[in-house]
Structure 1
Amino acid sequence: MPANFAQFEIDLVNFFKTNLILPDELPQWMKELGIIPQDEIISVDNIGAIDRNNKTDVLVTFKNSSPLKISVKLSNADYFGNWYGHNRFLEEFGLEPFTKLSIGITNWANEWIKHSNSNIFVGVSICFGKRSGNTALEFLDYFTSEDMRKIVVGADENSSSSANSLFISQTIPTSYNELFGNLKPINDDTLKEIGSNFKIACRPINPLTEGSNRGKNVYTKFQPYKPLSTQTTIVDKDELSMLGEFIPLTEANRLNHNHILNELQDVYKIVIPRKR
């Protein structure tokens, strides 16, 4: 098993580079995509590494066939849309769903901070994919089935960045037969299978223990009722919740957890220590 996902993609690219001629027999769905048996591969590119917004991770270009655009997932991977920022959200879904989701995330945050399993947090980021328990919202309460297709496939299905197939495995194939066993089309049946547990994953970030994730955009923010009289360090979520509440965002302004922490300290004299 590869050490990380980036290496897994590279290894899959290398599989195609060492198997440049397709076999005599292909799955029917590949033929329906316009891929011809025994065609020759002329290039293989790991375009997922170039832009994290690409749904295609590995792009296989043939001499005479339509391209194979593969979205790669490890078997234990939970997310199809990881860490959705504001700009990306607006490009794919628009402002109305953003506003609706911000209200939903705010309601969730004001309840979650009271939960025995929660830790201190000042904002909530989101991902899309598998999720269970109390940190998941129902996707179709805020989006449509077509929106789910955008997250899995991509917004423009004619673009090389939009995937037409899904490879799910923990190991790199050693033959085309092995590849075909874990490669499937992204069609209505596949989307229905994915959609059975497709959620909005709420990601509250604990400033005390998380570093880089504090730079992710949030969909709600903690708002104090008033500034404190003196600068006060807060590390307990219950102490924080007595000082204010979470409120929806009024605009998609790329607000992140660090921005909120800065404002709490500079304007409201609430200091929440951050992991360095």
Structure 2
Amino acid sequence: MKVSQQVQAIFNAAYNEAKLRGHEYLTPEHILYASLSFEQVRTILAACDADLDHLKHGMESYFEQKIPAVKDQEPIQTAGFQSVIERAVLQSQGSGKAEVGIPEVLVSLFDEERNYSAYYLRKSGVNRLHLLEVISHGIDGEAESPGAGAYGPNPPEGSGESGPFTDPEEEDELGGRARQRSTVRQGALDRFTTDLTKLAAEGKLEPVIGREAEIERTVQVLCRRLKNNPIHVGDAGVGKTAITEGLAQRIVAGNVPQRLRDYAVYSLDMGSLIAGTKFRGDFEERVKRVVDEILKKEKAILFIDEIHT
């Protein structure tokens, strides 16, 4: 699979950086460090609220302390370097792209395990979900413009030997300079769910007729101490969603047991949840965010439409 001109320029710059510093190994950290000279990379990371200066200084410190220097020897690709490239190719193929772009390389660097490039990205304030959101919605990945990178020979085929660096010892991956987001972003519940109780309070839901028994049974199950997750099954169009809307109307009217008073019913919008999920793990990350925000609320019910399909 081909790589874009910008990605090739980053690989060239990474190779030149390793050779200029006399490094024995060509690592994912060289890719990340070289990419910081390219405008599109800086734009994406800045949109993720990354501290670019802290990231650059961290990489320079890593080079000084962890990478052995040799004389008159070509840098050897590590297994991690090759893994980053392979994962980026798989990401591009999964997205139906004809070539590997900068977004795929950045996500691959972030996903590389036991690696300082991912560690310093997290430490500088980059969050994986935020990175995916910026790539999917905030940056036009096709309109890549080359930055000021060094150009040189293509990275040579390496032996696959891994470099002599170790894991970030006893350091919290999520610690460091996790910076407060500079922009106000919608929470997962606001983006991917609909508050049915709010709609009921505003009179925007249709009255539910002839489903009193089903709604009452739903209320009984929700009031259990254990196994209190009701599921509605049936053919399309019989009114499964209407039962939940009827429940929301009952809660707003106060026609429920004390245990369910003041609860909010959130309907998960599967269309919004799936939209823009181009990368592996995208969908799971969004679901996790929704669940995490639901768990933070003391009185909330999550309705997943079409869960039985």
Larger strand proportion, structure 1 or 2? Answer: 1
Query: Which category describes the TM-score, using the shorter chain as reference length?
Result: under 0.3
Q: Could you state the TM-score of these two structures normalised by the residue count of structure 1?
A: 0.25
